[in-house]
Amino acid sequence: MSWVSVAGRTAALCAVLVLCTEAALADPLGFAEPMRFPGAASVDLFASRGDAANAADAIAAPLRRQVVYYATKEAPGTIVIDPAHTYLYFLLGGGSAIRYGIGVGRQGFTWSGTETIRRKAEWPDWYPPSEMIQRQPYLPRAMAGGAGNPLGARALYLGNTEYRIHGTNQPATIGQHVSSGCIRMLNADVIDLFDRVSLGAKVVVLGPMQDQAARTHVRSNASASVPKGAAAATIGSAGPNVAASR
């Protein structure tokens, strides 16, 4: 092979690489599937005990995970969400529940109704829905799961809606009305809930007239040991009642 032939092929290859690079820079995210790296360390390393403790310390004591008395006719394994008081309850039965502090939908993005857990995901990828992109066009079209992902360490998908119960990389938003309708939890809390709840579990989101928070009181502190074996109820979804257009 002559030197001229080699030089020609090298030049052609360089031209192709330049064109591919320019295309990637023009649309770095697009709608491509997030990249995965076989053999990479698990991102669960970001959910260290130290990080979890620091996040819990950043929120008010009533919002920290704890066992409470909760009077309800719902079955053990059901999730009850009280947006007005930013609490989520996982029912244990016998009048007990684990209460978690949460972040909920801001004004205009509140909803109520009954759903079921359709899917569970660890360190989920994020694909902002088209309605959110219309409101915030600067958002990425896709983001791989990890410590910087706004869905946090775990996600529980509610029926056929766009809503999820998920973690957050912003602990200060717990106890606030800030989301577009999803339910936010501390990463340590959503991992705990993820391990307890079953697919098909019933999720009840209370409306303004269904407030039951006054019937609860703290039964033990956040470090209480609770078995992770409660059975989940499998009940059909009645669909959410959106208080205002999303």
Contact criterion met (CB below 8 Å) for 206 and 240: no
Helix segments in the chain, DSSP class H: 3-26, 49-57, 130-135, 187-196
Active-site option among 14, 20, 85, 182: 182
85 is catalytic: no
d(C-alpha 224, C-alpha 222), whole Å: 6
Spatial neighbors of 233 by CB under 8 A, at least 6 apart, are 74, 75, 76, 77, 78, 200, 201, 202
Spatial neighbors of 19 by CB under 8 A, at least 6 apart, are none
CB atoms within 10 A of CB 215: 11
Active-site option among 14, 20, 85, 166: 166
182 is catalytic: yes
Q: Which residues pair with 155 in a beta bridge?
A: 121, 166
Q: Which residues are catalytic?
A: 166, 182
